[in-house]
Amino acid sequence: MKSLYELAVLLILSVAQQCVQSYSSSYKYIMADFKRCQREKPDVVLWVQGRLLDQQRRAVIRELLANKRAWPKDIRVTTFFAVGMCNSRKAHVSLQYEFEVFKDILQNDYHEHYENQTAKMISAITFIADYCSHSKLAIRIDDDVLFHPATMIRKVMGMMTKKSKNTYDEAEDYHSQRRYELSSNRISRLYKSLASLPSNRFTNPNTILCHILSNRTIIRPDMNRPYPVKYSVLVTESIYPDFCAGFFIAISMDVMIKLRELFAVEPPFWIDDSYLGVLQKRIKTVNVNANKFLLFDAPENNLRNAISAGTNMDAIAIHLTQGPAYYSQLAKANVYKELRYDYQ
């Protein structure tokens, strides 16, 4: 006889084809545990951008990456899975069951589709800035990324706490220049939030760490190439500002709060990584280039190293070339149980 958990998985898989492309301009909450950060008081918020129907991958991530025993004992971590919605009552019921069990689903009312990744990012950043603002660091990952938590956080903290010229002084300049665009109430709320942030051993202020992509051409509809954006986006530009490959991004909490305020005045477009780069340029973030340590589209034979190498592993995180197929294989074979960390 199948367990309720197994039945929930089957329900999700059976309605996979029922989710169709759709768009929404509002991102109201459908499922969210608004008091989780208040209860758990995390230092680090791990936010996973994946698909609603990928319950198997969420199970593997909970076991390997979000497992609190895999993190250093003096660091508290909370994980959220950001998902959209689809036109299936069965999928909603199954996800509701998963939410009731784990309390880590963050669902908003945009439809689940590749071109709604910006909506997913905006919803996750808004939630974390509003309900987890006393955390020190937010880390966004895609659900086809693997890392060793203790190794990853030590390397990230070391790289994000190095001295830099770009501090709150530049952030002050930025907001002085933008006062005409932000209401006085928003300015007051923003500075009150920033002033209340705790001292931070995890990261310098105004800092983002990621795999940085530079000199990328803005693709327009008449170019007949992938990932076009409308002519109304970055009208006078032909090159995107430097932006982060979205598979792994570590963001200081003050930046999360600033981003949350900017959404109201900086029109979004559908390529989430590039849109975030536009916001980073406006805020003048310190962008820590971790390209050497964030392995993009790595072959799957790096999996065991990513899981078990511990402090000897050079990489912060590995993005798998065939992530969906490999995660499915990993879950079905219960291989991840052989790759658990030494928790002692």
Minimum mean pLDDT among 15-24, 46-55, 179-188: which range? 15-24
Q: 247 by DSSP, 3-state: which?
A: strand
Higher-confidence residue: 331 or 158? 158
Phi, psi of 171 (to 5 degrees): -60, -40
Higher-confidence residue: 343 or 218? 218
Say how many C-beta atoms besides its own lie within 10 A of residue 295's C-beta: 22
Higher-confidence residue: 171 or 259? 259
d(C-alpha 135, C-alpha 149), whole Å: 17
pLDDT at 8 over 80: no
Could you tell me if 95 and 30 are in contact, meaning their C-beta atoms sit under 8 angstroms apart? no
Is residue 252 within a helix (H) or strand (E), and if so which, with residue range? Answer: strand 243-252
For the chain, give the longest Cα–Cα distance.
64
Nearest one of 100, 103, 102, 108 to 84, comparing CA atoms: 108
Q: Is residue 179 part of a domain?
A: yes
Q: Is residue 331 part of a domain?
A: yes
Amino acid in the structure at residue 37: C
Confidence of residue 27 (pLDDT cuts 50, 70, 90): confident
Contacting residues for 1 by C-beta, under 8 A, at least 6 apart: none
Could you tell me if 204 and 252 are in contact, meaning their C-beta atoms sit under 8 angstroms apart? yes
Could you tell me if 81 and 120 are in contact, meaning their C-beta atoms sit under 8 angstroms apart? no
Average pLDDT (251-255) is 97
pLDDT at 337 over 70: no
pLDDT at 175: 41
Predicted confidence (pLDDT) per residue in 147-206, tens digit: 888 889 999 999 999 875 443 333 334 344 443 344 445 545 554 555 555 457 899 999
Minimum mean pLDDT among 68-77, 140-149, 257-266, 334-343: which range? 334-343
Apex 55 CA angle, 74 and 226, nearest 5: 100
Q: Please give the residue range of the domain that contains residue 153.
A: 4-339
Q: Is residue 344 part of a domain?
A: no
Q: Is residue 240 part of a domain?
A: yes
Residue 233, phi-psi category: left (phi > 0), alpha (psi -120 to 50), beta (remainder): beta
CATH number where 75 lies = 3.90.550
Q: Is residue 271 part of a domain?
A: yes
Alpha carbons within 13 A on the beta-carbon side of 185: 0
Q: Is this model's pTM higher than 0.75 or not? A: yes
Average pLDDT (36-58) is 94
Predicted confidence (pLDDT) per residue in 236-249, tens digit: 999 999 999 999 99
Helix axes 89-102, 4-14, angle to 10 degrees: 140
Q: Is residue 198 part of a domain?
A: yes
Q: Is residue 314 part of a domain?
A: yes
Q: 184 by DSSP, 3-state: which?
A: helix
Minimum mean pLDDT among 94-98, 114-118, 136-140, 334-338: which range? 334-338
Q: 319 by DSSP, 3-state: which?
A: strand
Higher-confidence residue: 29 or 92? 29
Higher-confidence residue: 294 or 189? 294
Q: Name the token pair of 33.
A: 């545990």
pLDDT at 315: 76
Q: Name the token pair of 226.
A: 């992938």
b or e along 245-284 (b: 16 or more beta carbons within 10 Å of the residue's beta carbon)?
bbbbbbbbbbbbbbbbbbbeeeebebbbbbbbbbbbebbe
pLDDT at 330: 55
Q: Is residue 15 part of a domain?
A: yes
pLDDT at 219 over 70: yes
Confidence of residue 334 (pLDDT cuts 50, 70, 90): very low
pLDDT at 278: 96
Q: How many domains does the chain have?
A: 1
pLDDT at 42: 97
Average pLDDT (12-27) is 41
d(C-alpha 242, C-alpha 213), whole Å: 6
Predicted confidence (pLDDT) per residue in 57-91, tens digit: 898 899 888 999 889 999 999 999 999 998 888 88
